[in-house]
Amino acid sequence: MGSFLEMKKITKLFNENVVLKNVDFCADRSQVKALVGENGAGKTTLMKILAGLYKPDSGQIFINGKQAVINNPKQAQEMGISMIYQELRLFPDLNVVENIFIRREPIKNWSFVSFIDWNKAHKETQKLLDYFELNINPRRLVKTLSTGEQKFVEIIKALSQNANILIMDEPTSALTEKETDKLFKAVTDIKNLGVAVVYISHRLEEVKRIADVVTVIRDGELINSSDISEIDINKLVMAMAGKEIEDRYPKLKLKLGKEQFCVKQLSFAGRLKDINFNLRRGEIIGITGLSGSGRRTLAKVLCGLEGPFEGQIVINGKIFNSMNTHLAKLNGLCYVIGAGFDEGLISSMKTDENITLTNLKRISKMGFIDNTLESEAARDLIDRLEIAAEKDEIVANLSGGKQKKISFAKWLFTNAKILIIEEPTAGIDISSKVDIYNIINELLMSGASVIMISSDLSEVVGMSDKIIVMFNGEITGVFNKSEATHENILYYASGGKKPS
């Protein structure tokens, strides 16, 4: 007798990279199944296949013993599969009811005219809100709700579609403790309704609390599946980390200079708490953590994209109690965001325009941009970084690796000395990867220092002099290069505490 949901031998490739290798996964009704693994292990991809967002390259899905063909999210929805994504997917300017019933509003027919039956919609919504004991007015606009409340609206939306398989991707990453408790109660209720719940999380403490069965996935392969009562957190971390891979990162150990950058007791809007670290000339500090750990928020606060903050940022001895992007640039601090994010480069503009955008003064004469200067400057940087692109190519048409290099070029053009680099090599080809590491080396040799924010643990361990692990907006562990292993990083990144 098989399980209610069975996924068999699922394989998925993204541009020749194998993301999932023959993964078998199953889930039963009235059960919470946790899916855990490192960033990029393939958890979300597997579930997005189930929800119809991606098509697998091979493999089959069976629901209730019958083979299911899921080509798009709508088909998945019709089969009772609902997914609650990590990021919120509600319409902020619509109210709760409108959000819940969007595209499937109840209709009443009045002779030959059809109307939306708002009364019915309201009643249903209220019923569900009551069921979860939520004190939310269904007429409120979603944007006026807290993140936690919005998450519940999503859950209700999923349930009102008669979901019998509910996938939750990191549902607690933005919730307060109280909201988390409420969510867990709701998950238990949902489970008791006979729904099969798949719960994706990095937070092993939570998994321990809520799940019945836990499945570990690593590098696109299923590692093991076991009853939650039979496994402890250390074993889970070991299964997630796997064996250490050989160091292949061209790290140059430079003699460190004086302190260039320092953060003192920095807190921000409840999302960052008491962050302290200092960065010396020639040093790479790797900041890692699982999603929702606050590592990106930290980067944004440091370079003035978010604020105001409490505490201090010290750049070359100058104390700042607030930061903005202009000030950051003036003081040689820059934020290198790469391809894959919608920030960083203007994809519809030409390569040279993108590169010189950060320092228009340098290529302007009497207040006008000098095209000759612009293309000369761009050409120079394109050569230096060995970017195989023409200066007048549109950035959107270039590969990820080239885009990444262009975002480095653009900051080199401002002579930035402190670089906050986010996911330096995510999603780019190996040869560009090697280039990026060596570009970073060269930057360090020319007197810069780097804060590298990355979810690739091998990269963090391979390239950093010091590794900072974050969890829930706090620093939970700090390691020197020699002490850092995947296992101890993962332990602190999933909420493990220092044995005191």
Partner 1 sequence: MFAIERQNKIKEKLFREKRIDVVELSELFSVTEVTIRRDLDKLEQEGFLIKTYGGAVLSNAFVAKAFNFEPCDNSFDEKRLIGKIASQMLDNGEAIFLGSGSTCLEIARNIKDKKLTVVTNDLFIGYELRNITGIKVIVTGGDLIQATSTLVGAFTLQALNGIYINKAFIEVKGINFDSCYTVDSHDEAIVLLEVKKKSNELIIVADYTKFDRTAFVRLGDLTLAKKVISNKQVPSEYKKYFFEHAIKLYTTFEFE
Summarize as ranges the residues that interact with partner 1 (CB under 8 A): 245-254, 384-386, 412, 429-435, 438-439, 441-443, 445-446
Give whichever of 184 and 249 is closer to partner 1, judged by the CB atom. Answer: 249
322, 307 contact by CB (below 8 A): yes
> Least distance in Å: CB of 429 to partner 1?
8
> Least distance in Å: CB of 387 to partner 1?
10
> Least distance in Å: CB of 402 to partner 1?
12
Give whichever of 119 and 438 is closer to partner 1, judged by the CB atom. Answer: 438
Give whichever of 254 and 360 is closer to partner 1, judged by the CB atom. Answer: 254
Question: How many angstroms separate the CA atoms of 260 and 315, rounded?
Answer: 6
Residues 6+ apart with CB under 8 A from 447: 257, 281, 282, 417
Give whichever of 213 and 440 is closer to partner 1, judged by the CB atom. Answer: 440
Give whichever of 236 and 377 is closer to partner 1, judged by the CB atom. Answer: 377
Neighbours of 67 (CB within 10 A): 10
Distances (CA, A) of 368 to 93, 204, 330, 349, 362: 41, 57, 21, 18, 11
> Least distance in Å: CB of 383 to partner 1?
10
**Peptide bond before 250: cis, by omega within 30 degrees of 0?**
no
> Least distance in Å: CB of 384 to partner 1?
6
Give whichever of 128 and 439 is closer to partner 1, judged by the CB atom. Answer: 439
Question: How many angstroms separate the CA atoms of 325 and 304, rounded?
Answer: 5
Give whichever of 105 and 380 is closer to partner 1, judged by the CB atom. Answer: 380
Per DSSP, 397 falls in state: G
For helices 371-384 and 400-412, give the axis angle rounded to 10 degrees: 120
Residue 222 in 3-state DSSP?
Answer: strand
Give whichever of 330 and 445 is closer to partner 1, judged by the CB atom. Answer: 445
> Least distance in Å: CB of 260 to partner 1?
17
> Least distance in Å: CB of 385 to partner 1?
6
**How far out from the chain centre does Cα 440 lie?**
23
> Least distance in Å: CB of 421 to partner 1?
15
Place of tokens 């249903």: 124
Residues 6+ apart with CB under 8 A from 450: 283, 284, 285, 418, 419, 420, 421, 440, 443, 444
Residue 333 in 3-state DSSP?
Answer: strand
